[in-house]
Amino acid sequence: MNLKKEEIEHIAQLARLQLTAKDKEKFSHQLTAILAWIDQLNEVDTETVGIGLKSDITNVLREDFIKPFSDTDTLHQSFPEKKDNYLQVKGVK
């Protein structure tokens, strides 16, 4: 199974990558090899394989609690941009 140019371009668009023609050719071969390997893995019989690792190790979790933050004046003074009583940050694209 060889990936078509349109499929590579679609994957690049989803990943927000700008690829050159040389990159598209290179990634076409690499992704095709990866998909062939995944197909090979899908053929493995896993019906008799147990789930997870067996271990006596457990997570140690602390109790979650709310701790009020009282030094808001210092925080507001040190923050570069403010609007009303809020800290203003740049948007994420």
Query: For residue 25, what is the domain's CATH number?
Result: 1.10.20
- Helices (H) then strands (E): counts for the chain: 3, 2
Residue 8: count other Cβ atoms within 10 Å of its Cβ: 20
Residue 74 lies in a domain: no
Burial status of residue 56 (CB atoms within 10 A of its CB: 0-12, 13-18, 19 or more): exposed
As for how many domains the chain has, the answer is: 1
- Residue 45 contacts residue 57 (beta carbons within 8 Å): no
Q: Is residue 83 part of a domain?
A: no
CB atoms within 10 A of CB 70: 7
* pLDDT tens, residue by residue, 9-38: 898 899 999 989 898 888 888 988 998 999
Q: How many CB atoms lie within 10 A of CB 85?
A: 7
Q: How far is CA 91 from the centre of its chain?
A: 19
**Helix residue ranges per DSSP H, the chain:** 5-14, 21-42, 72-78
- Would residue 36 count as lying in a domain? yes
Residue 18 belongs to domain spanning: 5-42
Q: With bands split at pLDDT 50, 70 and 90, how would you rate the model's confidence at 66? A: very high
pLDDT grade for 76, boundaries at 50, 70 and 90: confident
The answer to the question of residue 13 being in a domain is: yes
pLDDT at 1: 66
Partners of residue 83 on adjacent β-strands: 86
